[in-house]
Chain A
Amino acid sequence: MKPFAYHQPDRIPDAAKLLTSIEDSKLVAGGMTLIPTLKQRLASPPALIDLSKLGNLKGITDGGATITIGAMTPHAVVAASKLVQGKIPGLAALASMIGDPAVRIRGTIGGSVANNDPAADYPAGVLGLGATVVTSTREIAADGFFRGLFETALEPGEIITAIRFPVPLKAGYAKFKAPASRYALVGVFVAKFADGVRVAVTGAGSGVFRVPPMEDALSRSFDPSAIAAIKIDTEGLTSDIHAEADYRAHLVTVMAKRAVDAALS
């Protein structure tokens, strides 16, 4: 790790100002992703801006038809939240499947969504539920937020403050864990709303994506059998030492069926 300056602002505008004024500076939330990259000297920002002292970034609020989760809320808090478990059990289940207990206690939803790791779990939940990413400057719909491999719509200096999730009729998440890392080799989030079904896939490609044929089929009949025969094109899917693209494609269908099962149970 190389030396860096450390700032701990207590107001969002101050944090944003530091972020824009110090070139190559980085926000740090739970540090579960950022700190390892510093330790391996893969990144060496001149300054870290710690979000932990900013007010209002932690916590979960009930908006009736929505649930809003502050950016600094750790995965373990989401997993254990009675509110989330009651209204969007699939999202609580997703949070409980991230990493290990230590990672869930430190890692945050804002950090996960901002990082947009192609194998992270939250992006599937955010896109699958059609959530809104609330930032220091604006609100961004999930459909326009994730831009592929570690890329998002965030502008320089923009800070995620919360994620607002609409409450679905039913939702479920199924994850096939990568054997070594236990990130998602393939994870599928399925959410049923009054006006249709959304299906979002993580782990399989360079970023989270939706599967319209499955959404159509499930909108007609919200049952695993409705999508059992839908095959995913291997174009654009990842092949690596753990899984070849056609296997990942197959797993998308299997995990989508299991996600529907989870939503129904």
Chain B
Amino acid sequence: MGNVIGIGASPKRKEDQRFLTGRGNYVSDIKRPGMTAGVFVRSPHGHAILRGIDKSAALASPGVIAVLTGEDAAADKLGSLPCGWGISDAKGVPMKEPPFPMLAQGKVRFVGDMVAFVVAETPAQASAAAELLTVDYEVLPSVVGVLEAVRPGAPQLFDDVPNNLCCDWELGDKAAVETAFRKAAHVAKLSLVNNRLIGNPMEPRAAIAEYEPGTDRFTLWTTSQFPHVVRFLMGALVLNIPQHKLRVVAPDVGGGFGVKQFHYGEEAVITWAAKRVMRPIKWVASRSEGYVSDRHGRDHVTEAELALDETGKFLAFRVNTLANMGGYLSTFGPNIPTNLYGPLLGGVYTTPAIYCNVKVVFTNTVPVDAYRGAGRPEATFVLERIVDVAASEMGIDRVEIRRRNMIPKEAYPYQTPVLVQYDSGDPMGCLDGALVAADVKNFGIRKAESARRGKFRGLGYSTYVEACGLAPSRFAGRLGARGGLYESATVRVHPTGQVTVMIGTHNHGQGHETTFAQIVSEKLGVAFDNVDIVFGDTDRVQFGMGTYGSRSLVVGGAALSKATDKVVAKGKKIAAHLLEAAEMDIQFEAGKFSVAGTDRMKTFEEIAGAAYVPHDYPLEVLEPGLEEQAYYDPVNFTYPGGCHIAEVEVDPETGTVTLVNYTAVDDVGTVINPMIVEGQLHGGIVQGVGQALYENAVYDEGSGQLLSGSLMDYCMPRADHMPMMNISTHSTLCTHTPMGVKGCGEVGTIGSPAAVINAVVDALSHLGVTHVDMPATPNRIWRLLQNASLPVAAE
């Protein structure tokens, strides 16, 4: 039976029992009767005209059942992969939205673009046949970098997208910013690159599709963070399958990080093909296939300027960014570098005027979309870097300049000049806490000790805020969202008092089965072990938008909280009847309904029993059963934030940067499970450190080949790269979510890159180094030291 385990406790994660004992149920674990194997044939070229595909040899290969190409999809009149956001430029002109066929038609636009799907009896037969497919390519020059793509004469991806420019987006009051710049005592300038990243979830993408002629229904099992959205996008917009004839299941999923929150062409192709061959088909991507087909993240080139008065107060901030979209628009693609970027440029500061221009650009690379943090790490990096540059140029301490510009706790709710209004926060409190936790006071002693060993030590700050809990639908709609962003939950109380929750978010490592069970346990007073969380199946869960943008607890948890409130409200009605009291006199506390001021009461189980055995029950006014559903659409984003302090040591002989200390004090609102929050921060920080020091997706200009196409060449952060992290929370409560929660899934990734790079620059500042691009690899640091204005002191 167990106990109530409520909000604020840290039980071990329910789901880990099955994961750690090898009893998870991932897509590739699933076998269907008569299942066949599918393999995608992908373009080896970054840019080429598809002159023709000869299927004959592949079709004749042993075991082959079908070979499908873009021509077949066109003949079946299938739709293009839809983009969920339509942004516009300053004049209201909509973005260029060229079609994204699920199998290439006419042209391929990146290495990995799909040209055919081969279905055979076994995976080996499908792979062998795929090698026999003859594709006639007329290879064109590729363009992979944003600066190159907008240059006159650059290769053009689409005939009707001049200069490869998808949208010239802007935000903010340009004129006010210009006026402020004219009055500035100092202007800090910074050019930087936000490096391109590859998500690398532990489980590669996979899918199984099956068509049942008896019911005319399709089932798609897919590694997705949002099965209901896949059902809608794929069913309604691509394959023309009515929603009630399509079931999408996302079972256990081994990590997402954004990579699995898009509707992928593979899903559409395999579902379409399953009906054509009348057999179930399974496709499992290899790691290498993931590198050239999973959506990538980041990839910005930015020029930023910060105007300050003589005291170091920020007057205005101007940011011009070129953002890489890759070869096509992915599900959220154009939203990420615009709506999730520009509105974050205010940070935790009172900067009165901000202007941001983002040129969204097509290139011959994998489509770029949301990756943990999505837009907000990019914004934080620009802002927190230029604050350091300004401080150093003006001779103001880096902490002091932050204090002078920080929004004081009393000033919340705070309206920024870039759309968003922060409801709550205490950046100064986080900063103060972090300064103590990181023992900044004794940094000088540690730096001197490093110097004795010939090493340069540096300290870096990042005081940041982010916007998550995506998203208030009305607000998002104004920004170009083509769907709603609410969440739904059903709380089903069984006749014996146990509870099953059906929720539209998707758990793929975040610990929802535990956190959500704690909420129910607390709110209904039922034992933690008596609550199960069901997700990831459109036939079992009413509806949902899925998990991304740190929204599950904030939006899904709110829907769950509302649904439990409805259960309690109905329970009170039943109790009032059974206890012969007025409904308003019924109290619910610790799993008991009682009449106020008396010892008359009914347990939660008794009420559940009465609801399902309604012999003594107010049937005239109340339906039997105890099951409630709630939808929740947030009124605002939530704004977690905090202060991260990184401490690094640089070996000037080799250029190696070692992260030696990491401190984070974050405001994530109410903490449901401290252990899980800490885990989310650990993972998020490691991902940010990965961006800052190790990870880089590199394409070859001209050929469009991905040079960092495997784990041998793409450096993921590893356990031995990290020191023990010092994590704590300093929370203010969100004023508009039911439980005061703000979300914590992405904060680590958002706050950390700037902290790390600011520390590296600090370590090298005595050599005249003012900026280091990410990732700060040994080669890059060594090169900077070669060009540094002062001799390397430690040698």
Please report A residues at the B interface, Cβ cutoff 8 Å: 1-3, 40-41, 176, 179-181, 241-244, 247, 250-251, 254
Among B131, B654, B694, B698, find the residue whose CB has the most chain A CB atoms closer than 10 A: B654
Known pairs A1-B124, A2-B128, A40-B288; A180 contacts B714 (CB<8 A)? yes
Q: 8 Å CB contacts to A: which residues of B707-731?
A: 707-708, 711-716
Identify which of A1, A179, A180, A241 contacts B778 (C-beta below 8 A): A179
Identify which of A2, A41, A179, A244 contacts B715 (C-beta below 8 A): A179
Contact indicator B779/A254 (Cβ below 8 Å)? no
Contact indicator A247/B782 (Cβ below 8 Å)? yes
Residues of A with C-beta under 8 A to B542: none
* Nearest A-chain residue to B696, judged by Cβ: A241
- Asked whether any CB of chain A lies closer than 8 Å to the CB of B777, the reply is yes
- Residues 311-344 of B, flagged 1 when their CB comes within 8 A of A and 0 if not, give 0000000000000000000000000000000000
Contact indicator B715/A180 (Cβ below 8 Å)? yes
* Nearest A-chain residue to B713, judged by Cβ: A180
Determine the distance from Cα of A1 to Cα of B128 in the docked complex, in whole angstroms.
9
Contact indicator A179/B712 (Cβ below 8 Å)? no
Contact indicator A3/B708 (Cβ below 8 Å)? no
Please report B residues at the A interface, Cβ cutoff 8 Å: 124, 127-128, 131, 288, 653-655, 694, 696, 698, 707-708, 711-716, 777-779, 782-783
Residues of A with C-beta under 8 A to B707: 241
Shortest CB distance B397–A (Å): 33
Contact indicator B288/A176 (Cβ below 8 Å)? no
Q: What total count of A-B pairs have CB within 8 Å?
A: 45
Can you name 10 A-B pairs with beta carbons within 8 Å? A179-B694, A179-B778, A180-B694, A181-B711, A181-B712, A241-B698, A242-B779, A247-B655, A247-B778, A251-B654
Determine the distance from Cα of A242 to Cα of B655 in the docked complex, in whole angstroms.
13
Known pairs A2-B128, A241-B698; A176 contacts B712 (CB<8 A)? no
Residues of B with C-beta under 8 A to A250: 782
Among A179, A242, A247, find the residue whose CB has the most chain B CB atoms closer than 10 A: A179
Identify which of B127, B696, B708, B779 contacts A243 (C-beta below 8 A): B779
Contact indicator A176/B124 (Cβ below 8 Å)? no
* Nearest A-chain residue to B651, judged by Cβ: A254
7 nearest A-B pairs in the assembled complex, by CB-CB distance = A180-B715, A179-B715, A181-B712, A247-B779, A243-B779, A241-B698, A254-B653
Contact indicator B124/A3 (Cβ below 8 Å)? yes
Shortest CB distance A56–B (Å): 34
Shortest CB distance A180–B (Å): 4
Contact indicator B713/A241 (Cβ below 8 Å)? yes
**At the interface, is chain B mostly helix, strand, loop or mixed?**
loop
Residues of B with C-beta under 8 A to A241: 696, 698, 707-708, 713
Residues of B with C-beta under 8 A to A254: 653-654
Further 5 A-B residue pairs, CB within 8 A, beyond A180-B715, A181-B712: A40-B288, A176-B654, A241-B696, A244-B779, A251-B654
Contact indicator B127/A41 (Cβ below 8 Å)? yes
Shortest CB distance A182–B (Å): 9
**At the interface, is chain A mostly helix, strand, loop or mixed?**
loop
Shortest CB distance A176–B (Å): 6
* Nearest B-chain residue to A100, judged by Cβ: B718
Determine the distance from Cα of A251 to Cα of B782 in the docked complex, in whole angstroms.
10
Among B712, B716, B779, find the residue whose CB has the most chain A CB atoms closer than 10 A: B779
Determine the distance from Cα of A250 to Cα of B708 in the docked complex, in whole angstroms.
24
Shortest CB distance B283–A (Å): 17
Determine the distance from Cα of A254 to Cα of B694 in the docked complex, in whole angstroms.
22
Determine the distance from Cα of A244 to Cα of B781 in the docked complex, in whole angstroms.
12
Shortest CB distance B455–A (Å): 14
Residues of B with C-beta under 8 A to A247: 655, 778-779, 782-783
Shortest CB distance B713–A (Å): 5
Determine the distance from Cα of A176 to Cα of B124 in the docked complex, in whole angstroms.
39
Determine the distance from Cα of A175 to Cα of B708 in the docked complex, in whole angstroms.
22
* Nearest B-chain residue to A242, judged by Cβ: B779
* Nearest A-chain residue to B127, judged by Cβ: A41
Shortest CB distance B553–A (Å): 34
Residues of B with C-beta under 8 A to A244: 779, 783
Determine the distance from Cα of A121 to Cα of B425 in the docked complex, in whole angstroms.
53
* Nearest B-chain residue to A180, judged by Cβ: B715
Determine the distance from Cα of A1 to Cα of B125 in the docked complex, in whole angstroms.
10
Contact indicator A180/B124 (Cβ below 8 Å)? no
* Nearest A-chain residue to B780, judged by Cβ: A247
Determine the distance from Cα of A247 to Cα of B780 in the docked complex, in whole angstroms.
9
Contact indicator B782/A2 (Cβ below 8 Å)? no
Determine the distance from Cα of A243 to Cα of B783 in the docked complex, in whole angstroms.
10
Determine the distance from Cα of A251 to Cα of B786 in the docked complex, in whole angstroms.
13
* Nearest A-chain residue to B694, judged by Cβ: A179
Residues of B with C-beta under 8 A to A176: 654, 778
* Nearest A-chain residue to B711, judged by Cβ: A180
Contact indicator B712/A2 (Cβ below 8 Å)? no
Shortest CB distance A255–B (Å): 9
Shortest CB distance B704–A (Å): 15
Contact indicator B124/A2 (Cβ below 8 Å)? yes
Residues of A with C-beta under 8 A to B716: 180
Determine the distance from Cα of A1 to Cα of B779 in the docked complex, in whole angstroms.
36
Shortest CB distance A119–B (Å): 10
Shortest CB distance A246–B (Å): 8
Determine the distance from Cα of A5 to Cα of B502 in the docked complex, in whole angstroms.
51
Among B696, B711, B782, find the residue whose CB has the most chain A CB atoms closer than 10 A: B782
Determine the distance from Cα of A247 to Cα of B707 in the docked complex, in whole angstroms.
19
Residues of A with C-beta under 8 A to B714: 180
* Nearest A-chain residue to B130, judged by Cβ: A41
Identify which of B131, B653, B654, B777 contacts A242 (C-beta below 8 A): B777
Contact indicator A181/B779 (Cβ below 8 Å)? no
Residues of B with C-beta under 8 A to A1: 124
Determine the distance from Cα of A212 to Cα of B694 in the docked complex, in whole angstroms.
34
* Nearest A-chain residue to B128, judged by Cβ: A2
Determine the distance from Cα of A242 to Cα of B779 in the docked complex, in whole angstroms.
7
Shortest CB distance A69–B (Å): 27
Determine the distance from Cα of A242 to Cα of B696 in the docked complex, in whole angstroms.
10
Determine the distance from Cα of A20 to Cα of B539 in the docked complex, in whole angstroms.
60
* Nearest A-chain residue to B782, judged by Cβ: A247
Residues of B with C-beta under 8 A to A243: 778-779
* Nearest A-chain residue to B783, judged by Cβ: A247
Determine the distance from Cα of A141 to Cα of B130 in the docked complex, in whole angstroms.
45
Determine the distance from Cα of A1 to Cα of B716 in the docked complex, in whole angstroms.
26
* Nearest A-chain residue to B714, judged by Cβ: A180
Shortest CB distance B288–A (Å): 7
* Nearest A-chain residue to B712, judged by Cβ: A181
Residues of A with C-beta under 8 A to B782: 247, 250
Determine the distance from Cα of A251 to Cα of B707 in the docked complex, in whole angstroms.
23
Residues of B with C-beta under 8 A to A181: 711-713
Residues of A with C-beta under 8 A to B779: 242-244, 247
Residues of A with C-beta under 8 A to B128: 2
Determine the distance from Cα of A2 to Cα of B666 in the docked complex, in whole angstroms.
52
Shortest CB distance B144–A (Å): 13
Determine the distance from Cα of A250 to Cα of B656 in the docked complex, in whole angstroms.
13
Residues of A with C-beta under 8 A to B131: 41
Determine the distance from Cα of A176 to Cα of B654 in the docked complex, in whole angstroms.
9
Residues of A with C-beta under 8 A to B712: 180-181
Determine the distance from Cα of A170 to Cα of B708 in the docked complex, in whole angstroms.
39
Shortest CB distance B63–A (Å): 13
Determine the distance from Cα of A253 to Cα of B779 in the docked complex, in whole angstroms.
15
Residues of B with C-beta under 8 A to A180: 694, 708, 711-716
Shortest CB distance B793–A (Å): 17
Residues of B with C-beta under 8 A to A40: 288
* Nearest B-chain residue to A243, judged by Cβ: B779
Shortest CB distance B279–A (Å): 23
Determine the distance from Cα of A242 to Cα of B654 in the docked complex, in whole angstroms.
13
Shortest CB distance A103–B (Å): 13
Determine the distance from Cα of A180 to Cα of B782 in the docked complex, in whole angstroms.
18
Determine the distance from Cα of A241 to Cα of B778 in the docked complex, in whole angstroms.
12
Shortest CB distance A141–B (Å): 31
Determine the distance from Cα of A2 to Cα of B124 in the docked complex, in whole angstroms.
7
Determine the distance from Cα of A243 to Cα of B655 in the docked complex, in whole angstroms.
11
Determine the distance from Cα of A179 to Cα of B782 in the docked complex, in whole angstroms.
15
Shortest CB distance B696–A (Å): 8
Among B653, B696, B707, find the residue whose CB has the most chain A CB atoms closer than 10 A: B653
